[in-house]
Structure 1
Amino acid sequence: MTSQPGPARYTLVSFHAHPDDEALLTAGTLARAAAEGHRVVVVVATAGEAGAARADWTGDHLGDRRIRELEASAAAIGAARVEVLGYPDTGWPVPTSGEGISGPADPGGPVPFSQLDAEPLAADLAALLVEEGADVLTTYDENGGYGHPDHVQVHRVGAMAAEIAGTPVVLEATIDRALIWRAVNVLRALAWVLPMPVLPDLSTAYTARGDLTHRVDVRDYVSDKSESLRAHASQSTRARDDGARTLALILRLPRPVRRRVIGREWFRERGRQVGGDLLDDVFASLRPRPECGHA
C-alpha cells in the first residue's frame, strides 16, 4: 500500500515597515499559517525609532523597546524567525492635534528608509527570501495603506525583491476601503465612550473592494492577534498620555465586536486576475489543482 503525501508545508515571509505593522495588518493570517504548520518569518525594515510614542518612551531607546515588542508579538503569532533590517525610520509628520512625538529624520542624520535607493534594499531582502526558500511574500499595496512613505517603500522593495528571488506569490496586505468608512462611522458613534484617533485622509487609502483577491478568515485567531497587538505597548498611547491610539482602541472593543472588526484580513495578489469570489487561502496559487476525471 502506497502512503499518501501529507499536506504541503510552505514558507511565508511577511515584510513590514515598522514594529506593530505586522500586528495590525497580518497577525491573524500569520498565526493561522503557523498553526497550520507553515513556516512564518517576520521581516521589519526599521526599528520604528522615529515613531509616535509616549514622551518618556521616545529618544535613543525607543527603537530597542520596539524591537522587544516585535519579538513578543512574533511569539504570540508563532513566527519561527524575526529579522529587523535596521534601516533608519522616516518618521511621520505630527498633525496639529498630534498623536505623538514623531517627525522626519534629523536632516544631518542618515538617509531614512523611504528615501534610500530601492534596488540595493531589494537585493538584501531577496537574499533573505532565497535563504528561506520563500513561497509567499507579503508586502503592502501601492498606496502604502494610508500613504506612509516607509509603507510605500515596502511596496516597491518587496515587489523588486520577489522578482529577483523568484518568489512565486506576492500578497499586498491591505484593507477593504469600503469597510474603512464603515469602521470610521462606528468609531464616531462610539466617540462618547472611546476617543477618536487622529485619522489621515482615507478617501484613497488602502484598496477598493473590486481590486482585492483575498479575504482571509482569522476569527479563530483573534486571541493571537490581540496578543500581538497588546505586545506593542509603546504604540498604545499618545505623547501627552491623554488618550488612545488606533491600536489601543481595537483592544478596548468588547470581545464580540473586536472579533468582527479584526476577524478578517485582506490582500491583493500580484498577477492574479481580480473578480469572482475572494480567496480564503494565502497559499491557493501554490496548491496543486485537482485533476479532472476522465470517462
Structure 2
Amino acid sequence: MRRRTIVSFHAHPDDEALLTGGTLARAAAAGHRVVLVVATDGEAGLASDAQLTTDLGELRRRELDRAAAALGCARVVRLGLPDSGWRDSTRADGAGFSRIDPVEAAAGLVDVLREEEADVLTTYDPAGGYGHPDHVQVHLVGAVAAARARTPVVLEATLPREPLHRLVRVAARIPGLLDAVDPTTFAAAFTPRSRITHRIDVRGHLAAKRAALGAHASQASSDVGPRTVALLLRLPEPAFALVAGREWFLDRRRPGLRTDDLFDGL
C-alpha cells in the first residue's frame, strides 16, 4: 500500500470532528499522513459563560490539539485568520475569514498543500453545509488553493440532504430542542444524496471520533440553546453508530462515482 497524504481544511476547531473525524482517523490508522489545517481559532464562536475561564480562542486551540491527537493527525496548521462569528456571535467589527478575498486567504493553504505534496484535500460543499459564511469560504478558498497547488483530488465534506431534512422536521416538533434553528434554512443545506460520490464507512473508528468530539468541551456548551457536539455525545453507542458511522463527500470532477475509498482514482 502506498502511503498517501490527506490535508483536511476546516473553518473552526470542532468542524474537523463533526464531518470528517472518522475519515481522518481511518486514514491515519491505515498508515496515511493526515494534516489538519484550520482557518480560524474560533474565537468568535459560542460557549457558555461557565466555560470561559480563559480567552475562547486559546481554549479552542488547546481543544483542537487534543482532538487532532485522538484522530491520529500528524500535523496541525492554524492559519490564524479572524473568525467571522455567526448569528449571536457575529463580530461587531464586521471583519472575519468570510470577508477576505479567497485568493488572498488561500495563500497559507497553498503552502501546506505544496509542502506536504498532498494527494487529497477535503473542504466543504458550496453551501458550507448549513450555510455558515466561514464554511462557505472554506469551499471557495479550498478550490483556489487546490488549483494553485495542483492537488489531484478535492473532496467536499457534506451530508445527504434528504434524511437530514426529515430529522430536522421531526426535531423541530420537540419543544426546546431546535428553538434557535429555523428548519426552513435547511432547504438548500448540504448535498442531494444522488450527487454524493463517497460514502466512507467509519464505524471501526467511532471511538476516535467520539474522543475528538469530547475534546471540544467548549462547543458542547452554550447559554443560547443545544449544540450539535453535545447532542452527539449524549447518544448511546448504537445510536451514535447509526448517526455518525458514515461520512460523506462529493468529488465534483467525477460525477456518478460511488466509492468507500478516500483515495479512489489516485
Q: TM-score, normalised by structure 2?
A: 0.94
The equivalent position to 2:64 in structure 1, one of 37, 46, 70, is 70
Q: Report the equivalent of 2:85.
A: 91
Q: Report the equivalent of 2:18.
A: 24
Q: 2: CA distance between counterparts of 1:252 and 1:143? A: 27
1:280 aligns with 2:260: yes
Q: What residue ranges of structure 2 are gaps of 5+ in the alignment? A: none
Q: What residue ranges of structure 1 are gaps of 5+ in the alignment? A: 1-6, 95-101, 287-295
Q: Report the equivalent of 2:245.
A: 263
Q: Report the equivalent of 1:138.
A: 122
Q: 1: CA distance between counterparts of 2:22 and 2:72? A: 11
Q: Report the equivalent of 1:4.
A: none
Q: Displacement of 1:58 after TM fit?
A: 4.8
Q: Report the equivalent of 1:33.
A: 27
SS at match of 1:146: helix
Would the aligned equivalents of 1:93 and 1:104 in 2 still touch at CA under 8 Å?
no
Q: 1:36 to 1:197 in 2, by over 3 A?
A: farther
SS at match of 2:84: coil
One-letter identity of the residue aligned with 2:130: Y
1:224 aligns with 2:204: no
Q: Report the equivalent of 2:230.
A: 248
One-letter identity of the residue aligned with 1:249: L
How much is the aligned-residue C-alpha RMSD, in angstroms? 1.8
Q: Displacement of 1:103 after TM fit?
A: 1.7
User: Which structure features the higher share of helix residues?
Assistant: 2
The equivalent position to 2:181 in structure 1, one of 193, 199, 212, is 199
Q: 1: CA distance between counterparts of 2:171 and 2:119? A: 38
Q: Which has the larger radius of gyration?
A: 1
Q: TM-score, normalised by structure 1?
A: 0.85
One-letter identity of the residue aligned with 2:81: Y
Q: Displacement of 1:70 after TM fit?
A: 0.6
Q: 1: CA distance between counterparts of 2:216 and 2:40? A: 15
Would the aligned equivalents of 1:123 and 1:164 in 2 still touch at CA under 8 Å?
no
Q: Displacement of 1:113 after TM fit?
A: 0.7
Q: Sequence identity, in percent? A: 55
The equivalent position to 1:178 in structure 2, one of 149, 153, 162, is 162
One-letter identity of the residue aligned with 2:91: P
Q: Report the equivalent of 1:125.
A: 109
Q: Report the equivalent of 1:153.
A: 137
Q: 1: CA distance between counterparts of 2:235 and 2:169? A: 15
